[in-house]
């Protein structure tokens, strides 16, 4: 986030951006190599256990070509089940979606590592480990998928559980589907083909989550890990003033990638087909100054509460006034994690820890300062902006006499936070006093994924639903928030 003052930025920040149509593959290093602060986006092992396949297969059955000079890994059998099930899924789905026969995958699946000695050929050339290091990639000339089995997949499995590995393979197989449908011949921008591949990965994940596979089972925690994988393989922040993050070969931000995954998860493979001609909206945020680049878009922590609070007051006061209502801004205070705590009926000492609390009886928002500092240091400034805004959204609902409770109220809070966020997407207006920076939307996605694990409290709504509601607010505005919850 940044106090914009007189800074002028490029217009059209909610826009589709053209990129190369080549497939550079999925790579964790792409999201970390340019980051001054590398966020820990892992989901604790306790919440994302490794999947146990329903009917394990032998890792030597050659569903995956592991080579001859490799130390077996714990996920080998699971990986074989994944590639088998993904193919079964598309054998059934492809004819339905594209109304033509499915062409079998012919080139194979290859685990690449430095000590591999047997040849793997792609595009009439020998493929070396260096060609695939830190990456996973579909090669259309050869119809094969190869991945870094030395670092990329092991790191994903260690941080997020084996379901994250499955998400990567499902994404790459999405490019194989594009080859069969003719999409890769259209020379579309890379970010467009990547969006559809993310959508396809979501469609397959939903199939596994619904229990339709005899080989792979996805729990809610494993779906969450799949979303976290989208965060880890997001595009890096581009350290260039005025340059889009969607450079040639770009895949998109976590905000965009998670949205595409969710689109497929909810709508199925059929919903992914139109994305080539009508892509989902992409938000293009760029750095505007060398200072912005140096701090990765994060304002000083000491300025954060006042800046966020002032802008939330501006936005909601204006919104209420437009609707001939009066908004009473809540008071916002910080407290130490170990107390003393504010007085608010019904809030226990345990509930104050690692929390942002709205107390409606006195119109007070109070937050754990130690918790906020940790979020700021680990994930960035808008992780705090997101949680503070959700508390303000609760104040908004209270003053509107909202009867929503539990899950529905939490989702409305996320949607209203999205509405405020939409208002602070940078424009070319010099009167805009406050704006989000590159990386801020991704910080919301990360915080929604990990916050319940940090606090240890049961979530009011799933991370999947909260992210979806936030995106609705950002992309569609206040009217759609109300419509969406009414439809539920």
Q: Cis check for the bond before 380: say yes or no (omega within 30 of 0).
A: no
Q: What is the pLDDT, as a whole number, of residue 297? A: 82
State the Cα–Cα distance between residues 383 and 372, nearest whole angstrom: 9
Of residues 195, 205, 202, 159, the one with CA closest to residue 175? 195
pLDDT tens digits, one per residue of 316-328? 999 999 999 999 9
State the Cα–Cα distance between residues 377 and 93, nearest whole angstrom: 44
Tokens of 73: 């890994």
pLDDT tens digits, one per residue of 460-472? 999 999 999 999 9
Dihedral angle of Cα 293, 298, 301, 305, to the nearest 10 degrees: 140
pTM for this predicted structure: 0.84
The contacts of residue 131 (CB under 8 Å, 6+ apart) are 112
Assess contact for 28 and 157: CB atoms under 8 A. no
**Crossing angle (nearest 10°) for helices 478-487 and 406-423:** 160
- Residue 485 burial by CB count (10 A; 0-12/13-18/19+): exposed, middle or buried? middle
Q: Which of 29-43, 119-133, 291-305 has the lowest mean pLDDT?
A: 29-43
pLDDT tens digits, one per residue of 237-292? 555 544 554 565 566 788 999 999 999 999 999 999 999 999 999 888 877 777 77
Task: Say yes or no to pLDDT of 12 above 90.
Answer: no
Q: What is the pLDDT, as a whole number, of residue 166? A: 96
State the Cα–Cα distance between residues 422 and 480, nearest whole angstrom: 13
Phi, psi of 35 (to 5 degrees): -85, 130
**Mean pLDDT across the chain, nearest whole number?**
84
Of residues 315, 312, 244, 247, the one with CA closest to residue 283? 244
Of residues 464, 23, 44, 397, the one with CA closest to residue 220? 464
State the Cα–Cα distance between residues 65 and 108, nearest whole angstrom: 7
Three-class DSSP category at 486 = helix
State the Cα–Cα distance between residues 137 and 110, nearest whole angstrom: 10
């Amino acid at each position: 986030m940044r106090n914009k003052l007189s800074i002028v930025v490029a217009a059209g920040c909610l826009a589709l951006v053209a990129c190369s149509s080549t497939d550079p593959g999925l790579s964790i290093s792409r999201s970390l190599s340019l980051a001054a602060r590398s966020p820990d986006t892992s989901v604790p092992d306790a919440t994302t256990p490794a999947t146990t396949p329903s009917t394990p297969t032998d890792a030597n059955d050659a569903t995956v070509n592991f080579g001859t000079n490799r130390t077996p890994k714990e996920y080998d059998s699971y990986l074989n089940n994944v590639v088998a099930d993904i193919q079964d899924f598309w054998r059934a789905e492809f004819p339905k979606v594209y109304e033509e026969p499915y062409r079998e995958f012919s080139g194979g699946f290859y685990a690449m590592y430095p000590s591999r000695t047997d040849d793997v050929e792609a595009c009439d050339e020998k493929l070396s480990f260096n060609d695939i290091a830190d990456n996973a990639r579909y090669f259309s000339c050869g119809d094969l998928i190869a991945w870094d089995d030395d670092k990329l997949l092991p790191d994903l499995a260690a941080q997020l559980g084996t379901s994250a590995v499955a998400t990567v393979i499902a994404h790459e197989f999405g490019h194989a589907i594009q080859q069969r449908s003719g999409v890769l011949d259209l020379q579309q921008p890379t970010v467009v083909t990547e969006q559809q591949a993310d959508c396809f990965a979501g469609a397959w994940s939903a199939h596994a989550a619904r229990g339709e596979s005899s080989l792979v089972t996805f729990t809610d925690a494993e779906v969450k890990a799949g979303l976290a994988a989208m965060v880890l393989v997001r595009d890096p922040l581009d350290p260039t003033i005025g340059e889009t993050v969607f450079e040639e070969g770009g895949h998109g931000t976590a905000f965009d990638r998670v949205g595409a995954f969710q689109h497929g998860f909810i709508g199925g493979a059929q919903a992914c087909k139109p994305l080539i001609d009508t892509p989902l909206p992409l938000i293009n945020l760029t750095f505007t100054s060398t200072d912005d680049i140096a701090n990765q878009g994060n304002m000083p922590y000491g300025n954060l509460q006042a800046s966020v609070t002032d802008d939330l007051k501006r936005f909601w006061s204006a919104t209420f006034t437009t609707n001939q209502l009066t908004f009473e801004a809540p008071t916002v205070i910080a407290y130490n994690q170990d107390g003393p705590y504010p007085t608010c009926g019904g809030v226990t000492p345990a509930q104050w820890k690692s929390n942002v609390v709205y107390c409606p009886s006195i119109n007070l928002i109070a937050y754990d300062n130690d918790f906020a500092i940790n979020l700021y240091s680990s994930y960035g400034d808008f992780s705090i902006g997101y949680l503070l805004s959700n508390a303000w959204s609760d104040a908004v609902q209270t003053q509107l006499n909202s009867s929503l409770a539990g899950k529905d109220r939490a989702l409305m809070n996320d949607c209203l936070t999205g509405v405020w966020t939409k208002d602070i997407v940078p424009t070319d207006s010099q009167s805009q006093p406050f704006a989000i920076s590159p990386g801020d939307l991704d910080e919301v996605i990360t915080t929604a994924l990990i916050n319940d694990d940090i606090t240890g409290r049961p979530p009011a709504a799933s991370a999947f639903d909260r992210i979806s509601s936030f995106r609705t607010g950002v992309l569609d505005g206040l009217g759609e928030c109300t419509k969406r919850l009414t439809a539920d």
